[in-house]
Structure formats: C-alpha cells, structure tokens
Structure 1
C-alpha cells in the first residue's frame, strides 16, 4: 500500500524528543506511505473558551488530519506514571470536534522513556484514553523503549536489533490492520 496515509502523534513537544524519533522510525519501518507528523502544540482545553470561540483552527486541522489518515501511530512519554499532558490535552480537544475521526481507525501505540520499563504504564493508560473513540488498536507487540536517549544513532535509527524487530512487527501489524 504505497499510497497509505500515516499520521504520527508524539506526546512530547521537544524537537529532539526520543518519542519523536521513535514515531519517525515507526513511519520509516511502516514502509511506503505519505507520513505527516501532527502538531500537538495546542491551547489548553477550556470549555468557556470553546463556548465563546468554538474549536480552534489547529484543533480542527488535527482532527481532519486524523480523519483523513489510513492509520495513526502515537508515541507517548511517561511523565509521573502516565501519558503527557500534551497528549491528553490533544485527545480532549479532538473529542470536542464534530464526528469522531478515530472511529474504526487503525492505531498503534508506543512509548519511549528514560526509565527501565519504557513507558509501560503510560501506554496502558493511553489505551484506556482511546476506548471512548473506538479506534482499532493494534495490540502488539508492545513497543516500550527503555533508556531511550541511548537507543538511536545519529540518523535517528534504532540501534538495538530487538527493538527494531519489535517495532517492525508492530508496523507490519498496523499495515495489516489497514488492509483488514
């Protein structure tokens, strides 16, 4: 499926974040696709602002990007035993848009963290956050990248054959989910 549209969401805003690197590596291993990295630098959700001004344009753009994708990859850091506020805020905003861009959408979740568990808790919580949206979550294999700052070469490629194999299999499963 060389013309698949793949969208990536990183729960970290830092340009050099390992979750951005992991998301980009996932897109590379996914294979031929039109890949777009979403911008999650959104205003904080505030119901009063929404009532007064409606859905901000960047939020609607994000919802439209997801709706137009064949699949989505989400990479989350683990902050204080959960996903980042940036990612939760984006999910909250998207839930306020018309329709449900996530419904039936193939989604793969992964995480990259400094800790030894690789973001396992954040990923578990993120999966729970996704339930109301009813996407088609690609269940595995689970990609928990531990000690993430030491797992990429200068080109942003994973250096561990084990992690590379896990991410490759996850992307193969996501591609199969699109075809399903």
Structure 2
C-alpha cells in the first residue's frame, strides 16, 4: 500500500506534518511518502490569475502525488478556527483542475494543536466537506495538547489512548 501523508500547513516545524508522518508509518509494510506543502508553490488564487496563467503547476504536481496513492493521511493545522491559508490556497487551485481532489481514495483526517482544542473546528469542517472533494473518510482523530502528548525526541506518542485511536484509524485504510 502506498500512503501519501501531509500536514496542511507550510510551517517548517509543523506538528501536523509530524503527526501525519507518525500515523502513516503505523501501517505495517506501507510505502509512505510525506509531502511538504512548500514544494507545491502556487500564486494566491483568483479568477483573474487563473485566466492569466491557466492551471497552477504546483497544484498539478500536488494532484499527481495524490493520484499515485492508495490512501491519504492529512493532518490539519488550524488558524483562527479554519484551514491555514497555504493549504486552502493550494486546495482551491487543485479543485479548479480536479474537483475530486482526493480521487475517491480512503483517507484518515487528523488535526492537532498545542492547545487543548486539538484543532477540532477545522477537523470538523474538513470531515464535513470531504465527500464533495472525493475523500472517503475512514476515520478522524483530534490530538489535543500536542507537546504534552507527543515526544518529539523519540518521535512517539506518550498518551496510550491517543496512540490506540491512531492505530485504529489507520487499520480502517486496509
């Protein structure tokens, strides 16, 4: 199984990218490719820009990576209760090329934040809109208080209950 995982953030120290990578690597025998949104540069979306340049190359490359996956794991960062601007912009460009961005593939949606909310607001929005964009959400998990629950040094979860939720979530991809 080939899994594409990414954090929906352009932060170089994204805890969501860390969580997505960790979770994807829970799938035994899977070939995991972790994407960095910074590798898919697109201008700020507008219809005027789209008329000028056509399809953004970064969005085409992003969609190509998703197309090659058997399953997708996304961990959503939350900015003021919503998607990060970097993710939303890439996503908007991508939907102009292919509305079913996730191409009817099984996905696991995650979210985390440093605080106790665990980015649940953006996770709920993403999960609610997923069917409109070709995502077959098999599971969704919010991880609150990331730095309390995840040991960056060892690259593992300290919280056994959350670890079990993530293992159960990826088991749904099989």
More strand by proportion, 1 or 2? 2
Structure 1 residue 101: deviation in Å? 4.4
State whether structure 2 residue 130 is matched by structure 1 residue 130.
yes
C-alpha offsets along residues 83-119 of structure 1, whole Å, 9 cap, x if unaligned?
2222222221110114734232111100011221211
Q: Which residue of 2 aligns with 1:150?
A: 148
Against the structure 1 CA distance between its residues 155 and 55, is the aligned structure 2 distance closer, same or farther, given a 3 Å change threshold?
farther
Corresponding residue SS for 1:26: helix
* Structure-1-length-normalised TM-score: 0.86
The 3 A distance-change label for structure 1 pair 118 and 149 is same
Distance 1:117 1:97, change over 3 A: same
| Structure 1 residue corresponding to 2:12, chosen from 12, 15, 22 | 15
| 1:135-167 CA-partner distances (Å, limit 9, x unpaired) | 2111x3x31111112322203211111111110
CA distance in 1, matches of 2:141, 2:21: 14
Equivalent positions of 1:52-91 (< 5 A) are: 52-91=52-91
Q: What TM-score results when the alignment is normalised by the length of structure 2? A: 0.89
CA distance in 2, matches of 1:99, 1:112: 26
Which residue in the other structure is 1:171 paired with? 170
Q: Is the CA contact 1:25–1:158 (under 8 Å) kept in the aligned structure 2?
A: no
Please say which of residues 104-113 and 49-58 is displaced more in the overlay: 49-58
CA RMSD of aligned residues (A): 1.7
